[in-house]
Amino acid sequence: MSGPLPSWNDGPAKSAILDFVRATADPKSPAFVPEKDRIATFDQDGTLWVEHPMYTQLAFALARLAELAPQHPEWKTTEPFKSTLAGDMAAFAKFTLADLETLVAASHAGMSTDAFREMVSDWIGKAKHPRWDRPYTDLVYKPMLEVMQYFEDNGFKNYIVTGGGQAFVRAYAERVYGMMPEQIIGSSLETQFEYDGDGRAILMRPPKLLLYNDSSGKPQDIYLFLGRPPLAAFGNSTGDQQMLEYTQAAAGMRLAFLVLHDDAAREYDYGPASPQADTKFGAFTQALADTAKAKGWVVASMKNDWRRLFTFES
């Protein structure tokens, strides 16, 4: 198989990507955009890698909480810690996003930025996804890696714009995506400048949210970090809608793209037609499908548009 995007089946989704890149990167095209403004943004969970049965970062949080539990006897009697530590998956399934955020705050704060990076790096080097029994970082979608490579080969600068933690993703982004820390925009805790015992400047992580980079937060933070809308934006859920709207509202040719999880055999099915559509991990509701249709967004079917999902599949 030659040409770009070999893991994609021919069809409107693949064509939309190829046509868009040719139109914006070819100096002879009327929609040409100079290289300095060629920006593409990618949601991570559910767009670049598997987000079920739960976000990878939540699996990290649970592992950390289990480690920390002996120092927090009060967690045995306080929700959302009690059910979590007891492994009560029925209760866990009913947690609100606020409950999940409480778990994340308790497991992600109180150390230096350097210590946190080490912690994530250690965990993600060892932890495995329950379904495939492989490292989470193996579960990056090969078709999307090809899209990112194709964009980069055509002078685009790629950014991850994730509701997940910026510091979490940065800990493995260079190894997994070849992306440097400045290419990762995500939810962030504040940091606090301090001096350690030797008078050396360090940054600590207090449990205080600075940026919640989901839904409206995505365009807001794209503006904060990049100062302008991207040319192309890729997402897979309601949390990406505003990013796609912000992308499309700007002048000139833009690409707004959604990945639809409709492949229970090879991955998961939680599209609008599925009983899983209202999942808290990457909801693709009927309302989002309607918006996508009304606004002319490209929707790629994982089942029909992707020849293969993962690099480890031959």
Distance (Å, whole) CA 247 – CA 234: 10
Amino acid (1-letter code) at residue 14:
K
> Residue 46 in contact with residue 282, Cβ under 8 Å?
yes
> Residue 290 in contact with residue 4, Cβ under 8 Å?
no
Binding track, positions 171-210, relative to a copy of itself; x by CB under 8 A: ---------xxx-x---x-xxxx------xxxx------x
Residue with tokens 């995500």: 186
Outline where DSSP puts E strands in the chain: 39-42, 157-165, 184-189, 192-195, 201-204, 209-211, 232-235, 255-260, 298-301
Q: Does residue 219 belong to the site contacting a copy of itself (CB under 8 A)?
A: yes
Q: Does residue 287 belong to the site contacting a copy of itself (CB under 8 A)?
A: no
Q: Does residue 263 belong to the site contacting a copy of itself (CB under 8 A)?
A: no
> Residue 53 in contact with residue 130, Cβ under 8 Å?
yes
User: 35 to 64, contacts with a copy of itself by CB under 8 A?
Assistant: 36
The answer for residues whose C-beta is within 8 angstroms of residue 307's C-beta and 6 or more apart is: 6, 7, 8, 9, 143
User: If you ran DSSP here, which 8-state letter would residue 9 be given?
Assistant: P
| Shortest distance (Å) from residue 196 CB to a copy of itself | 9
Closest to a copy of itself by CB, 229 vs 271, is 229
User: 2 to 41, contacts with a copy of itself by CB under 8 A?
Assistant: 36
| Shortest distance (Å) from residue 166 CB to a copy of itself | 8
Of the candidates 239, 241, 240, 247, which has an alpha carbon nearest to the alpha carbon of residue 223? 247
The binder of a copy of itself chosen from 83, 137, 220, 274 (CB under 8 A): 220
Give the range of 87-95, 122-130, 246-254, 260-268 binding a copy of itself by CB under 8 A: 246-254
Q: Does residue 246 belong to the site contacting a copy of itself (CB under 8 A)?
A: yes
Q: Does residue 224 belong to the site contacting a copy of itself (CB under 8 A)?
A: yes
Q: Does residue 115 belong to the site contacting a copy of itself (CB under 8 A)?
A: no
Closest to a copy of itself by CB, 54 vs 167, is 167
Residues near a copy of itself (CB under 8 A): 36, 113, 166-167, 170, 180-182, 184, 188, 190-193, 200-203, 210, 216, 219-220, 223-228, 242, 245-246, 248-249
